[in-house]
């Protein structure tokens, strides 16, 4: 099991030939991340975007284009998104990254019936975090895609995150459905939903819910709370009730601690990286390394 992002980056470097396709990846922020990924030997890139804008961004960055970054000239964002997705669906690239393009256009291409990356599963955001006090990587989901999932959607969201943890080498997905308390309470609808999911289970994973964060993450807290089972104190997937909780939880780690973070959109046929211009350079490289490892995992 990979236990931190240094190990993830090392694993990504060992996977020769990782390529990320990026529609409209000609802006300074995207191009800087792609050049740093090239310099760090994490991945090469296919940018489908404006050659002229790439030249302008390179001038701002005072860099030349690395040999393993290719530019396919395209001025139309819809066309660029479809071309980039097709590179992934045909195997010329093994992951996708969002450039300077509207999310709606980007995701429409991902779900295109002819060249898209549909699998029949829900798309969900997975933030993989490594807090210094923890001895393991943990996935937090879903703080970026699904506003308020129902039971079946929550199960798929959990399964998407579980798949990523297994591809990072976890022996077993241990899923905690998070709440403020460990008992079902009708005044807290998520606790009732989580209790139902825990009773039904998820194939191939250990499941507990509702569970508070301390009982999910800390073995000593789990003992104090008299929690038992394989998830107690050992969770590696944390499912939040809605997008607000997931977003606040993950960004709290990012901006209030020195936790390392990388994120992906899961549920498609290949990893999808959606970076924010406010992300640190480290988070951007972590996300690209994470995508390379997930794409290359057997």
- Domain assignment present for 25: yes
53 and 172 in a common domain:
no
CATH code, domain with 81? 3.40.50.10950
277 and 250 in a common domain:
no
Encoding tokens for residue 170?
């976890």
- Domain assignment present for 203: yes
- Domain assignment present for 263: no
Domain of residue 38, residue span: 5-118+268-296
193 and 103 in a common domain:
no
139 and 97 in a common domain:
no
Rounded Cα–Cα distance for residues 165 and 139 (Å): 7
- Domain assignment present for 261: no
Rounded Cα–Cα distance for residues 237 and 139 (Å): 5
Tally of CB atoms within 10 A around 1 = 13
- Domain assignment present for 226: yes
Q: pLDDT tens per residue, the chain (298 residues)?
A: 899 999 999 999 999 889 999 999 999 999 999 999 999 999 999 999 999 999 999 999 999 999 999 999 999 999 999 999 999 999 999 999 999 999 999 999 999 999 999 999 999 999 999 988 888 999 999 999 999 999 999 999 999 999 999 999 999 999 999 999 999 999 999 999 999 999 999 999 999 999 999 999 999 999 999 999 999 999 999 999 999 999 999 999 888 988 999 999 999 999 999 988 788 889 999 999 999 999 997 5
271 and 263 Cβ atoms separated by less than 8 Å: no
CATH code, domain with 201? 3.40.718.10
83 and 48 Cβ atoms separated by less than 8 Å: yes
Task: Give the chain's domain count.
Answer: 2
- Among candidates 261, 266, 265, which has minimal Cα distance to 283? 261
């Amino acid at each position: 099991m990979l236990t931190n992002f240094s190990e993830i980056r090392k694993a990504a470097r060992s996977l020769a030939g990782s390529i990320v396709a990026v529609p409209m990846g000609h802006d300074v922020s995207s191009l800087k991340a792609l050049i740093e990924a090239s310099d760090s030997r994490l991945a090469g890139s296919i940018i489908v975007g404006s050659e002229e804008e790439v030249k302008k961004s390179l001038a701002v960055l005072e860099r030349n284009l690395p040999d393993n970054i290719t530019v396919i000239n395209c001025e139309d964002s819809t066309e660029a998104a479809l071309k980039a997705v097709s590179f992934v669906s045909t195997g010329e690239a093994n992951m996708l990254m969002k450039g300077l393009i509207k999310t709606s256009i980007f995701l429409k291409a991902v779900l295109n019936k002819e060249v898209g990356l549909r699998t029949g599963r829900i798309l969900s955001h997975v933030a993989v975090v490594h807090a210094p006090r923890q001895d393991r990587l943990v996935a937090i989901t879903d703080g970026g895609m699904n506003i308020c999932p129902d039971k079946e959607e929550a199960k798929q969201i959990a399964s998407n995150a579980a798949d990523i943890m297994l591809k990072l080498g976890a022996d077993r997905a241990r899923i905690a459905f998070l709440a403020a308390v460990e008992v079902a309470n009708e005044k807290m609808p998520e606790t009732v939903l989580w209790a139902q999911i825990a009773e039904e289970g998820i194939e191939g994973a250990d499941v507990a819910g509702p569970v508070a964060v301390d009982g999910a993450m800390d073995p000593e807290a789990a003992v104090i709370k008299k929690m038992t089972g394989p998830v107690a104190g050992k969770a590696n997937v944390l499912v939040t009730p809605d997008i607000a909780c997931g977003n606040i939880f993950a960004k709290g780690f990012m901006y209030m601690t020195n936790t390392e973070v990388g994120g992906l959109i899961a549920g498609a046929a290949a990893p999808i990286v959606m970076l924010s211009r406010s992300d640190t350079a480290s988070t951007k490289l972590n996300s690209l390394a994470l995508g390379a490892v997930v794409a290359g995992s057997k």
